[in-house]
Amino acid sequence: MNLENNVKNRKVWKFGDDVSTDAIIPGRYLTTNDPYKLAEHVFEGSRPDFSKKFSTGDIIVAGENFGCGSSREHAPLSLIGAGVSCIVAESFARIFFRNAINVGLRVYVCENSDMFDDGDLVEIKEDNIFNLSKSKKCNLKKPPEFIDKIVEKGGLLKYTKDEIL
């Protein structure tokens, strides 16, 4: 994993279980694929202050089944536009997990999201996420190397283009 230089002393935005793609980006904004325009409305219904207070590089930590709901790519695109460096969750909806990788958003599985609260400062290094605010750490399930390469290239299309040419 080459993320460790990007996630040092980053703030946690904590979410619970079953965060749906509709909660991430409401359907009424799906008239664009522009990640930055979508980012203006991320979590608008559940956390109206998110897009104004979120700082580029902060991370989302969530419980189980993050990204459930529709199969739209807009949800991970909007999070990229907002500047989310990665999402750490106990589990992901399969289609969201795949869409995140396809658009170049890092996603990690951590079995104990309860050790994080809003505002905690964290660092990701190798296969661990360290909660600097509470002096605790959690192991991350490392993605296969090919997934890491896809995300490093910025998504599946860019990866495939580089591999073919």
pLDDT in tens, 57-73: 999 999 999 999 988 89
Structural domain tally of the chain?
1
Q: Which domain holds residue 124?
A: 10-164
5 part of a folded domain: no
> Is the pLDDT reported for residue 2 higher than 70?
no
> Is the pLDDT reported for residue 49 higher than 70?
yes
106 part of a folded domain: yes
Supply 115's token pair: 């050790």
1 part of a folded domain: no
> Of 5-9, 23-27, 136-140, where does mean pLDDT reach its minimum?
5-9
Cα–Cα distance between 90 and 144 in angstroms, integer? 17
Q: What pLDDT digit, counting tens, does each position of 100-141 carry?
A: 999 999 999 999 999 999 999 999 998 899 999 999 999 999
> Is the pLDDT reported for residue 1 higher than 60?
no
Predicted pLDDT at 73: 94
Any idea what the CATH number is for the domain that residue 53 is in? 3.20.19.10
94 part of a folded domain: yes
Q: Are 58 and 75 in contact (CB under 8 A)?
A: no
Q: Specify the pTM.
A: 0.92
Between the alpha carbon of residue 102 and those of residues 18, 105, 143, the distances in Å are 21, 8, 14
Predicted pLDDT at 6: 57
Overall average pLDDT of the 141-157 stretch: 92
Cα–Cα distance between 95 and 62 in angstroms, integer? 17
